[in-house]
A and B are shown apart, each in its own frame.
Chain A
Amino acid sequence: DIQMTQSPSSLSASVGDRVTITCQASQDISNYLNWYQQKPGKAPKLLIYDASNLETGVPSRFSGSGSGTDFTFTISSLQPEDIATYYCQQYDNLPHFGGGTKVEIK
């Protein structure tokens, strides 16, 4: 099984800060990597697919990059409504989610 190591597990940042989350795969997964946002009590929402493609309707302050084993998710300017837990998910083989990153406002 391909394992996904996501870090950090939590972070605290100020409104307007640049926020970066990383996800590392245990083997090469090409660009088969997606990013989701989940707010408490809600279903996850797809933000980025295939490592760097912004899902329709998602604000442009969200972005993704990487290929192979190392991937990065960035919020260019943190907004209050971005408070959530973010997950990476690979699908090179069967789907597998990273452990999640809880983002809070400082």
Chain B
Amino acid sequence: EVQLVESGGGLVQPGGSLRLSCAASGFTVSSNYMSWVRQAPGKGLEWVSVIYSGGSTYYADSVKGRFTISRDNSKNTLYLQMNSLRAEDTAVYYCARARGEQQLAFDYWGQGTLVTVSS
């Protein structure tokens, strides 16, 4: 059974850093396209970042230069390193698996982890 479990969210001050983790089971993270998607309180979905099976990474303009997506193949885990955090980064962060290579339809999602950026 495919499962994604996020962790690492919490309260952080503006300008601070946080690393989110997404532990996967039932499939191999490195063989799939994996993304982070966030949702600010009461708002819609916003795509944040993707890592392709080949290792290429891409980011939304809103986080480029501040966030880094990565994976640990030995732990079958996806990460999102978030630096220089701002109040507008406050959101529930979901990791999601793409349905197939070059098919960015997200068929499995984690339960989400809440990041709150506030002093």
Contacts and interface: CB of A to CB of B under 8 A. Distances in A.
Contacts of A1: 61
Interface stretch (A11-19, A70-78, A89-97): A89-97
A87 B50 contact: no
Contacts of B37: 44, 97
B112 A43 contact: yes
Interface stretch (B19-27, B40-48, B83-91): B40-48
What does DSSP make chain B's interface, helix, strand, loop or mixed?
strand
A97 B46 contact: yes
Given A43-B109, A94-B60, A95-B50, A50 B103 contact: yes
9 shortest interchain CB distances as A-B pairs? A91-B104, A49-B105, A43-B109, A95-B47, A97-B45, A34-B105, A100-B44, A46-B107, A95-B104
Interface of A: 1, 32, 34, 36, 38, 43-46, 49-50, 55, 85, 87, 89, 91, 94-100
Interface of B: 35, 37, 44-47, 50, 58, 60-61, 94, 99, 103-107, 109-112
